[in-house]
Structure 1
Amino acid sequence: MDDGRVLTIRDLSVEIRRGERVIRPVSGVSLSLDRGETLGIVGETGSGKSMTGLAIMGMLPAGGRVTGGSIDLDGEELVGLPPARYRAIRGDDVAMVFQDSMTALNPTRRIGEQIAEPVRLHRGASKREARGRAEEMLALVGLPRPAERLDDYPHQLSGGMRQRVMIAMALACEPRIVIADEPTTALDVTIQAEILDLLDDLRSRLGMSMILITHDMGVIARHADRVGVMYGGRVAETGPTPVIFRRTRHRYTHALLSSIPSLTHDRDEELFSIPGTPPDLTVLQEGCPFAPRCEAATDRCRQERPELSAEEDGHTYDCWHPASGPATGERARFTTARLPLPGPEEPPRLRVVDLRREHPAGGRRRTVKAVSGVSFEVAAGETFGLVGESGCGKSSLGRMLVALDRPTSGEVIFDGEPVSGMSARALGPRRTQLQMMFQDSNASLDPRMRIGTILREPMAIQGVGGRAQRTARARELLRDVGLPEAVLERYPYELSGGQRQRVGLARALALDPKVLVADEPVSALDVSIRSQVLNLMRRVQLERGLSSVVISHDLAVVRYLADRVGVMYLGKLVEIGTTEEVYGAAAHPYTAGLLAAIPEADPDARPPREAAARVRGEPPSPVDPPSGCHFRTRCALATEVCAGTEPPLRAVTGTHRVACHHPLRPVAEREGAWS
């Protein structure tokens, strides 16, 4: 075996039996990993990425087995290995960082015990030695006060901290290979950047090799040395990262790169999206699995499996009609003209005045300050974006906007009338005009109801029309969101994630609302499906003249949908302005940090190195926020005045305001600048 090669996968195939059904998630996969290298495996959900990682670990789900091929770990064949030998390898030579740290960690055991366990099993360490190693690993992954954290349970830690614990557990025995399966999917962009930088640093310091599994091409561009693009259980294209991005050959890779929304995208153009859905892996595939979704497909593509083509520098692909260069993607322009926004003299559709929301935190006098004095306005037909890390109060604010929660103080004024303090009876007729699109479409749709019933339900509750009229309206709504009428008779579990999100939007539009609040509407979707849903939302905005509030921690999504943006941190708005102002000339160090942490799908792009542009650590607790400026504990520009005085929102321009003692651009010094 080559001295530089630590893992070689040849023609690997996996099948999973579920009763009479046979799923083939991996079909003829060949990949390799060199010592000290990071191999990125990328593709949509269902492409076979995670199943390939589980096959390497010998952890296939019930009914799963390797049906062919080879997995060679440094000269040792893993396929067919006795269970006892596999247990000795797993965690010692090869370890895995799982996607969901909350379910991967045992909720009944302290984290120190869980990190110490592999050290005791594989290295024969005593209980005391293993605990010392656990503390050492927590310090290595940057967890504050590691000795104190050893006795914490997983639920006592934030998402970023739990992910660091997962990494500490995986690296405790210094394995040769670590497999990171979507290690940052559920994390904010700032924490994601820290975790991925940490993995890079530890890989280099410990001399490990890493397989990074993700659907985010930006993560791949910044952190992988080589890339394997998977589709339909097969490897479509492999090669060095710069080559894959600059000399894209496979049509699927080309389409995947074209689907990524960027911070420079023209909002009058639709995002490129891949039509259709990934293949059914229970059906034997003939030809190229991407052919049904490929604009360049011919009869040959549908009938014959493409031959593997190889170029210099290790670039391989299987495509009958390869692309000729970097992805650009044809993008249609929106045909619906944007309705003109009302002038400043006209009253806003939605007005939020000093809104606050506090709730008990388990103790008598301890309260979570979820929202602390937020004020802004949304005009008729305008889309307002709310961005910020998890726990900053975005979702709490969104629920108060549609009167699902009552504020502790302050007001939500809709069309000139306060709705936040109304009784349920008085609020009833107005609730039809305030609707919400929830983050988790799977949880927000009743699994016992057919889609037709789900869409008719809000109309039935409000007494709108008869059953025939409601059914006709449900059909119309499905057409509006790009779904066939046959979906009316299906249950939510029979739909894909993108289809369920479309149903969620259709239900929110059923009563013709004037205000729509969309809470993380595409966070759980693949990049191609996300583009479809975002295009749909943008089209609905233009056609209906809705006033919308889009809540997200994905700044590219908000830039595409929003006319104005508010940046929240620990319950407060720290910056507000037009999309062009906030994204083009961020005035608050926190906003600049959010923008700097976005992974660009460009291997040549480098994150800014200026201290002011890097947000470190995790947000403080909303139970006991820092004095003065809440952001000062993570800000490189903080001074004594930041600790003693809370900065008010003040004007940068006529429409751009920032709450910062040391803004990143001069604040207008004129009468009336302070708000």
Structure 2
Amino acid sequence: MAKESAAARTADGSENARGPANGDRVLTIRDLSVEIRRGDRVVRPVSDVGLVLDRGETLGIVGETGSGKSMTGLAIMGMLPAGGRVTGGSIDLGGEELVGLPAARYRAVRGNDIAMVFQDSMTALNPTRRIGEQVAEPVRLHHGASKRAARRTAEEMLALVGLPRPAERMDDHPHRLSGGMRQRVMIAMALVCEPRVVIADEPTTALDVTIQAEILDLLDDLKARLGMSMILITHDMGVIARHADRVGVMYAGRLAESGPTPVLFGRTRHRYTHALLSSIPSLTHDRREELFSIPGAPPDLTVAQAGCPFAPRCDAATDRCREEHPAPTADEDGHAHACWHPPTGPAATVRARFAAPPAIPAERGAVPRLRVVDLEREYPAGGAGLFGGRRTVKAVSGVSFEVAAGETFGLVGESGCGKSSLGRMLVALDRPTSGEVIFDGEPVTGLSARALGPRRTRLQMMFQDSNASLDPRMRIGTILREPLAIQGVGRRTQRTARARELLRDVGLPASVMERYPHELSGGQRQRVGLARALALDPKVLVADEPVSALDVSIRSQVLNLMRRVQLERGLSSVVISHDLAVVRYLADRVGVMYLGKLVETGTTEEVYGATAHPYTAGLLAAVPEAHPEARRPQAGARARGELPSSIDPPSGCRFRTRCALATDLCAETEPPLKPVTGTHQVACHYPLQPKRSAEPTTR
């Protein structure tokens, strides 16, 4: 075992950290370094990392994409990618050294003593095998159980993780389950052998806020019931604040800061941690101020770094920071950091210092820029209905709202509620089953392609996945010139000049014109997606989950850019997202969708500050805030269970199957949208803040 250095002692806090009452050390990592060889390139994703994990404890590892947090987890599991190897340090699991362990012994440890819950359940689960077989397999391999006994254990574990009707689901294939159900199956596979340590690598990144909260609470509960320890890897500081006992902040493969969660959040000692916390859009952020954003991008890990790796992005960096790497130091409470100039104030003061008030939005016109009237969209579904009729997915059911000139309307709701289907109809990419979309007083639904052409240039969409929406075979300059060429705008030289102007507007250099999409970072690609949407000077921009795939630091840059562009150009925007903090920052008015219907609409201040629908309240209660003192939401506030099928939605109020206030009236009668105030509407028989003349006769 490698000799423990001062850096490892201070980073893992072994002398001073306050662990759980039993104090049993389960995992000790000292001076861990990893390299990956790709041809003649060598990537060093982990360098001199030291961490400890005690029995019953949750250790959070947080950082941007490429910080080394997932690679640390894979090194512990002995699952480094091709060309990867541990080049130094020690991984001690309960007295057994894992570095250099023979492959056969590692296979016996992996899945039995340590297990991993992966980020993408759809790729981690075998699509050709049934759920029951995949959960039972570890029991047969590690415990030598019979096929029948392993199946029985798998069914018990699926019930333990809260999978509905586990006996029936055992014979389902992964594609038949929702995202939340698949993640529960992944947890069951990891825990079925009751390992001592479970590593959860971004276990809820692709899930809605309500399902995310359920999964994380489930992991906390199972950890306590089974006596396990957990390493929670995430980029979400709110998740860390709510669920981790201690936290390690990684940057450029190194541990920048670590310590007990309340101490680290209350007194950050590294400029990078400080900047991360300042970049997070919160539900209380003043919309008149820009979000703080970290300039630049993480360093290239194929190049040896001199000095502090965060120095090029740090506003407090000095020559010493650029030339000499800071040695980790620890406080008496086990709070360690590696920074020459630790910040002194809370993160909020940094945000206020950098924020700037935006321009005043354009005044509303008498005629709405965009008007949606009773919009419906149904898709054919496979198979026949109960009486042999055609089955349909009721994606959007009777939605109506208006967007004024210069206004931003936000649509929030869980996946499957119809937000994206509605967005595609707004820009005429899909035709509605019924209803109308009216742009500047003229309907755009039902028009022929020829008649729709001139109007479509004024209705543009910014897609969620910039990597998929940009042609990988075309250079950025060609991508930006393409819509101009299709519409016959200007000559080639004029189109090239326009492309450069668009790149300048979104904060990219003209040199990007000659690059391909894969040569850009995620944030840069999203900026190109915005530039392409703005190429034809649209009047309405529909942004579908525009920042959901970005790190928090890049997210704040893109959000500031979108808000600035909208204000400067007087754009009318529809922002679609399941992130309530993002919508609160961008939107003037908000519509909350549930299973194809709007259940609450109003100004941002009304919907967030005087919530009237139990579903909206449940969404807000599930948002993890980056403050340890707000670790648990109010009991019973969150929506229960998962979203019902939109093929056969519940009768009456569609939310009643998940609502704690539901009565027989909710099952019999569908509540219409009724005014709470002049601009605030809610579709609920029992609004949380009712303002009406008569109460329902029964409860």
Identify the TM-score tier after normalising by the shorter chain: over 0.9
**In 2, Cα distance between equivalents of 1:393 and 1:467:** 40
Cα distance in 2, alignment partners of residues 60 and 86 from structure 1: 13
Equivalent-residue separation in structure 1 for 2:229 and 2:633 (angstroms): 26
2:147 to 101, 108, 127: 127
Deviation at 1:341, TM superposition (A): 2.2
In 2, distance between residues paired with 1:181 and 1:517?
32
Among candidates 454, 465, 470, match of residue 440 of structure 1: 465
Distance in 2 (alpha carbons) for counterparts of 1:601 and 1:339: 30
TM-superposition CA deviations, 1:447-488 (whole Å, max 9, x none): 000000000000000000011001100000001000011000
Give the counterpart letter for 1:571 in structure 2.
G
Instruction: Measure the CA separation in 1 of the matches of 2:211 and 2:358.
Output: 38
> Percentage identity across aligned positions?
85
Cα distance between partner residues in 1 of 2:356 and 2:494: 30
Q: Distance in 2 between matches of 1:518 and 1:216?
A: 22
| Pairing 1:640–2:664 present | yes
Query: Which residue of 362, 371, 374 maps to 1:340?
Result: 362
The answer to whether 1:540 aligns with 2:562 is no
Matched, 1:286 2:311: no
Question: 2:292–2:355: 8 Å Cα contact kept in structure 1?
Answer: no
| Cross-structure match for 2:280 | 260
8 Å contact kept, 2:410–2:588: yes
Match of 1:464 in 2: 489
Q: Amino acid of the residue matched to residue 374 of structure 1?
A: V
* 1:481 equivalent in alignment to 2:506: yes
Answer yes or no: is 1:622 the counterpart of 2:646.
yes
How far apart are the structure 1 equivalents of 2:202 and 2:351?
29
Q: Which amino acid aligns with 1:445?
A: L
Take 1:106 and 1:325, find their aligned partners in 2: how far apart are those partners? 49
- 1:296 is aligned to 2:321: no
Q: Kindly tell me: are residues 189 and 291 of structure 1, through their superposed partners in 2, closer, same or farther at Cα, counting changes over 3 Å?
A: same
Change (3 A) 1:302 1:382: same
SS at match of 2:655: helix
Task: Say yes or no: does 1:371 pair with 2:391.
Answer: no
What is the DSSP-based 3-state SS (H/G/I as helix, E as strand, rest coil) of the residue aligned with 1:354?
strand
1:216 matched to which residue of 2?
Answer: 236
Q: Distance in 1 between matches of 2:344 and 2:687?
A: 45
Deviation readout 1:114-139 (Å, 9 max, x if unpaired): 00000000000000000000100010
Q: Displacement, 1:325?
A: 3.5
Does the aligned pair in 2 maintain the 1:336–1:543 contact within 8 Å? no
Is residue 2:61 matched to residue 1:37? no
Match of 1:655 in 2: 679
Give the match's secondary structure for 1:371.
Answer: strand
Aligned equivalent of 2:193, options 173, 177, 183: 173
Shift of residue 308 of structure 1? 1.2
Change in Cα spacing, 1:544 to 1:203, as seen in structure 2 (3 Å) is same
Partner of 2:10: none
- Residue 77 of structure 1: how far off its partner (Å): 0.4
Q: Please say if residues 290 and 358 of structure 2, whose CA atoms lie closer than 8 Å, have aligned partners that are also in contact.
A: no
Task: Give the Å deviation of 1:334.
Answer: 4.4
CA shift for structure 1 position 616: 1.1
In 2, Cα distance between equivalents of 1:509 and 1:334: 24
Cα deviation per residue 1:135-183 (whole Å; 9 max; x = unaligned)?
0001000011110000000000000000000000000000000000000
**For 2:629, what is the secondary structure of its paired residue?**
coil
**1:212-233 deviation line (CA, Å, top 9, x unaligned):** 0000000000000000000000
Deviation at 1:420, TM superposition (A): 1.3
Matched residue SS, 1:366: strand
User: Displacement, 1:608?
Assistant: 3.3
* Partner residue, 1:413: 438
- Tell me which amino acid in the other structure corresponds to 1:574: V
Residue 452 (1) aligns with residue 477 (2): yes
| Kept in 1: contact 2:279–2:351 (CA 8 A) | no
Provide the residue aligned with 1:426 in structure 2.
Answer: 451
Gaps of 5+ in 1: 671-675
**Cα distance in 2 for residues equivalent to 1:187 and 1:149:** 20
> Residue 338 of structure 2 aligns with which residue?
318
Q: For residues 377 and 358 of structure 2, what CA distance do their matches in structure 1 show?
A: 39
**How big is the shift at 1:337?**
2.2
The structural deviation recorded for 1:330 is 3.5
Q: CA deviation at 1:503?
A: 0.3
Partner of 1:312: helix, strand, or coil?
coil
Say if 1:498 and 1:287 are closer, same or farther in 2 by CA, change over 3 A.
Answer: same
After the TM superposition, which of the residue ranges 309-318 and 329-338 deviates more from structure 2? 329-338
**Match of residue 387 from structure 2:** none
Secondary structure at the aligned position of 2:215 is classed as: helix
Cα deviation for residue 338 of structure 1 reads: 1.7
1:145 has 2:165 as partner: yes
Shift of the 247–335 alpha-carbon distance from structure 1 to 2, 3 Å rule, reads closer
Among 11, 23, 27, the residue aligned to 2:43: 23
Distance in 2 between the 1:322 and 1:335 partners? 28
- AA at the equivalent of 2:125: L
| TM-score normalized with structure 1 length | 0.98
AA aligned to 1:649 is: L
**How far off its partner does 1:581 sit?**
0.1
Q: Is the 8 A contact 1:650 1:667 kept in 2?
A: no
Partner Cα separation in structure 1 for residue 355 and residue 252 of structure 2: 31
The residue identity in structure 2 corresponding to 1:277 is A
Deviations 1:23-67 (A, max 9, x none): 000011111101110000000000000000000000000010011
Letter of the structure 2 residue corresponding to residue 301 of structure 1: C
> What displacement does 1:535 show?
0.2
Aligned partners of 1:388 and 1:552 also within 8 Å: yes
Distance 1:608 1:72, change over 3 A: closer
Pick from 562, 580, 584: which aligns with 2:609? 584
Look up the equivalent residue of 2:195 and give its one-letter code.
P
- AA at the equivalent of 1:397: L
Q: 2 CA distance for matches of 1:312 and 1:28? A: 22
Which residue, out of 94, 97, 114, partners 2:117? 97
TM-score normalised to structure 2 length: 0.94
Match of 1:536, SS state, is helix
Distance 1:333 1:327, change over 3 A: closer
Matches within 5 A, 1:353-392: 353-364=373-384, 365-392=390-417
Is 1:524 aligned to residue 546 of structure 2? no
Shift of 1:335: 5.6
* Distance of 1:418 and 1:247 partners within structure 2: 56
Q: Which residue does 1:673 correspond to in 2? A: none
Which residue type is aligned with residue 289 of structure 1?
Answer: P
Counterpart selection for 2:424 from 395, 399, 404: 399
Deviation sequence 1:476-517 (CA, Å, 0-9, x none): 000100001100000000000000000000000000000000
Counterpart-to-counterpart distance in 2, 1:339 and 1:72: 58
User: In 1, are the aligned partners of 2:285 and 2:585 still within 8 Å (CA)?
Assistant: yes
Residue 610 of structure 1 and its aligned partner are, at CA, apart by: 4.3
Contact 2:542–2:576 (CA under 8 A) maintained in structure 1: yes
2:347 paired residue number = 327
How big is each residue's C-alpha offset from its partner over 1:502-544, in whole Å with a ceiling of 9 and x where there is no partner? 0000000000000000000000000000000000000001100
- 2:136 is matched with 116
Contact 2:615 2:655 in 1 (8 A): yes
1:107 is paired with a residue of what secondary structure?
Answer: coil
Does residue 1:68 correspond to 2:88, yes or no?
A: yes
The whole-number CA distance in structure 2 between the counterparts of 1:122 and 1:585 is 54
Q: Distance in 1 between matches of 2:685 and 2:692?
A: 13
CA 1:34/1:606 → structure 2, altered by over 3 Å: closer, same or farther?
closer
Q: Distance in 2 between matches of 1:35 and 1:337?
A: 53
**Native 8 Å contact 1:437 1:516 kept in 2:** yes
